[in-house]
A and B are shown apart, each in its own frame.
Chain A
Amino acid sequence: MNIPMHDVLLVGGGGAGLRAAIAASETYRGADIGVVSKVYPMRSHTVSAEGGTAAVMREDDNLDLHAYDTIKGSDFLCDQDVVEAFVKEAVDEVIQLEHWGCPWSRDEDGRVSVRAFGGMSVKRTLYAADKTGFHMLHALFQTSLKYDAITRYDEWFVTSLLVEDGRVCGVTALNIRSGNIHAIGAKSVIICTGGAGKIFPFTTNAAIKNGDGMALAYRIGCPLKDLEFVQYHPTGLPGTGILMTEASRGEGGHLVNSQGERYLSEYVPGKMELGPRDILSRSFIHEERKDNVFKGPDGSYVHLDLRHLGEKIIDERLPFVRELTRNYVGIDPVYEPIPVRPVVHYCMGGVHTDINGATPIPGLYAAGEAACVSLNGANRLGSNSLTECLVFGARAGQVAAQHAADTDFADSASMARMAQDEQKRIETQFFGTNGKERVANIRDDLRKTMEEGAGIFRTEDALKTTCDTIRTLKERYKNIGIDDHSRVFNTDLVNALELGYMLDVAEGLAHSALLRRESRGSHARSDYEERDDENFLKHSLAYQTDGDPRIEYLPVTLTRWEPEERTY
């Protein structure tokens, strides 16, 4: 068996993966880069990011201010050295993307425009109307086409990481089109597989966001950091979870309850609609408890009112919002308010990495939403994560390429054997048995229990129940049966493999949440309402074991900013 080998292999072709691939190929000439993606790269979920990407661009702004906003937004759980590197490198990264053709919206004088965003104290969010992620991803993808050193594996699905002598030396991947499992050798592997929003029922996330890369790392002993922190976005469409970008509030939109009040004056008077997402999402629940919300078939909601902005501003800066609401709920925001409610949006936690994207496992790196470099702490500020993909994608790409330059390939014969074993494992598990459990049923039950136990407000009892339920779901998963036993483009098999990843990530998440007996950022415990710096100013690390995950802790890196009370 002939095994393809690459110096650096990207698992994931979204914003982080493509940025890392380009950085790796620019780090040393002759480096051979592979990009494996389960969907064509331009379909990656970065495509749906709407609002913008943050960097210090103007005279009224400075790096310390961006750093402070990020640190305060994170409820002091980010690593401050990471934040300092981030704000500094963000500037060059967004300019680099400008040079690569990203069609940023512009001011009259030709400079890139910036808009206001939640938790950012000045305007520093660059945007391309309200299709920022779409334009960034296509600019990155189209630019990547000019690098002959990059080989793509489009619609290949990674099923495991290959480990030899304690270091990662490649992956096994299902070529979805042929149905064959292959080994791909690599000196460095970078996980850029995005978030895991789909383990919850109502989410802005796409079908492909199941935490694949987090689970891949977890399974080979790499810890997952700060998994308990899950961001709810305050303005999703009820039912479908389609996102109404925060830019709609950045541009001046109002949130109004069923009494016709801008209810945020009670919770974040200093920031109102531009308060951070965790606080805004909790405010909704408080209003719900006071019966100040509208009731609809898909649950309760409040109104996002854009009418006062007028048609011209809406069409110029928020055209996608208008397109989406017209298509999906038959509402024209120029004339009517939009029904919205909090929906799961973003995973702050992920594969534990250092400031360069290196994990504790030699040869393994991670960047983007799949990683936890500790930029976002307990709550991410909107528009920091696209920039995170650029800054830490580039860093990981460079460091992984350097590592590759000093490393040899592992033995290809043993990799071929591992690929054969993997093919057998998958065939036995999914085709060999006559299991009775349907993928969709286990998935639905998982989502339900995550919402019940690990939702906006959490308690010890509810979390325990969720942990127990996940354990039984993992048992049921062993008895899974899929309808499709053919090879070519078997999406039934892909979905079953994804469900395995979801269960692993959910397990780590629920257990980390159970043990964090405090409230911080997005993690709100009704039974421990205060932030507890004495015991919990630290990152959690979840390790997979044969039983429940083992949770360890790691200190937070503070540089210049002492933790203080977080009020807005």
Chain B
Amino acid sequence: MSDHKTIKITVLRYRPEEEDAPTEQTYEVEFRDDWVVLDALNHIKDHIDGTLSFRWSCRMGVCGSCGMMVNGEPKLTCAAMLRDYYPKEVRVEPLVNFPIVRDLVTDMTDFMDKLKAVKPWIIREEEKPVSEGEYRQTPDQLKDYKQFSQCINCMLCYAACPVYGLEHDFVGPAAIALGHRYNLDSRDEGIQQRQHVIASKEGIWECTYVGECSVVCPKHVDPAEAIQQTKVATTTNRFKSLVMPWGNKT
């Protein structure tokens, strides 16, 4: 332990009961090669300053709790290695485009409402009884939607999205991708019920295809692709509904 390296972590602080506007605070912590940014935050909380608040749980990049801005980029802090920033100082801030509840904790109720609005569940005209067994779905049919089912609701894409930053009515990348995921599922018949949200003005048409959502997504969901596919499908469907006004599932 002769070379005791340290690294500076500057975090945004905001305690609504004490201050009107956010401030920042810098901590100097031990640098360890195998630490992620979240480990440094936990070290601060446990041993230096218990008042620092942030969310985390799994520490393996799958629960989606620990999204924050790290040096200006939306990241899962449990998957961002400290060594990728060392020896430079690291700045940790709450995800942008969301109201701050406290310190690094943001308010995500808006997303929870939007998620529900796209009806992310299997919709069928008639449910098959469980006693009749599973629905058959081939690996190719699974592949159609699999990628869009990988979303961990981490909100990084919303933080990266310039449209959501300006227009909070925008349904946004993850919710659209999840609605699209069900539309593409061979077991589902609910596309019509989701269209008024997904294909609305606040849905896909708000998106200007900047594509930042897909760049930051840690799970390669590619929400921009979901939006693009829906735009294409909606346009063709619109023509189709002129030819076949009684409607049909594609």
Contacts and interface: CB of A to CB of B under 8 A. Distances in A.
A106 interface: yes
Interface string B126-170: 011011011111110110011001111100000000000000000
Contacts of A484: 50-51, 53
B98 interface: no
A535 interface: no
B115 interface: yes
A259 to B, nearest CB: 27
A239 interface: yes
A440 B51 CA distance: 13
Given A483-B50, A484-B50, A101 B130 contact: no
A112 B142 CA distance: 11
A109 interface: yes
A480 to B, nearest CB: 11
Contacts of A47: 58, 62-64, 152
A108 B139 CA distance: 6
A99 B149 contact: no
Nearest to B139: A106
Contact of A98 (B46, B81, B101, B134): B134
B62 A488 contact: no
A2 B150 CA distance: 40
B65 to A, nearest CB: 5
Contact of A101 (B34, B65, B127, B185): B185
B145 A103 contact: yes
A143 B178 CA distance: 13
Question: Which of B18, B62, B122, B138 lies at the interface centre, i.e. has the most chain A CB atoms within 10 A of its CB?
Answer: B62
B47 interface: yes
A111 interface: yes
Given A484-B50, A484-B51, A99 B127 contact: yes
Contacts of A208: 57
B55 to A, nearest CB: 8
Interface in A503-560: none
Given A98-B134, A134-B152, A491-B53, A48 B63 contact: yes
Given A134-B152, A135-B149, A327-B79, A242 B46 contact: no
Contact of A489 (B105, B133, B134, B145): B105
Interface string A126-139: 00000100110010
Nearest to A154: B112
B102 to A, nearest CB: 4
A489 B64 contact: no
B62 A131 contact: yes
B60 A324 contact: yes
A486 interface: yes
A138 B182 CA distance: 13
A278 B185 CA distance: 40
A197 B151 CA distance: 26
B61 A95 contact: no
A142 B120 contact: yes
Contact of B56 (A92, A135, A207, A240): A207
A42 interface: yes
Contact of B137 (A106, A154, A206): A106
Question: Which of B50, B55, B119 lies at the interface centre, i.e. has the most chain A CB atoms within 10 A of its CB?
Answer: B50
Given A99-B127, A108-B139, A146 B134 contact: no
Interface string A82-123: 000000000010011011110111111111100000000000
B63 A486 contact: no
A484 B17 CA distance: 12
Contacts of A323: 61
A483 B121 contact: no
A48 B62 contact: yes
A490 interface: yes
B157 to A, nearest CB: 16
Nearest to B132: A95
Contacts of B137: 106, 110
Contacts of B133: 95
Interface in A22-65: 39-40, 42-45, 47-48
Given A99-B122, A491-B54, 5 more contacts: A96-B130, A106-B137, A327-B81, A328-B34, A488-B101
28 contacts: A39-B63, A43-B58, A47-B152, A48-B60, A48-B62, A48-B63, A99-B122, A99-B128, A99-B135, A100-B122, A101-B121, A101-B185, A103-B142, A110-B137, A112-B134, A145-B120, A146-B121, A206-B58, A207-B56, A207-B59, A240-B34, A323-B61, A327-B81, A484-B51, A487-B17, A489-B103, A490-B53, A491-B45
Interface of B: 15-18, 34, 45-47, 49-51, 53-65, 79, 81, 101-103, 105, 108, 112, 115-116, 119-122, 127-128, 130-131, 133-139, 141-142, 145-146, 149-153, 178, 182, 185, 187-188
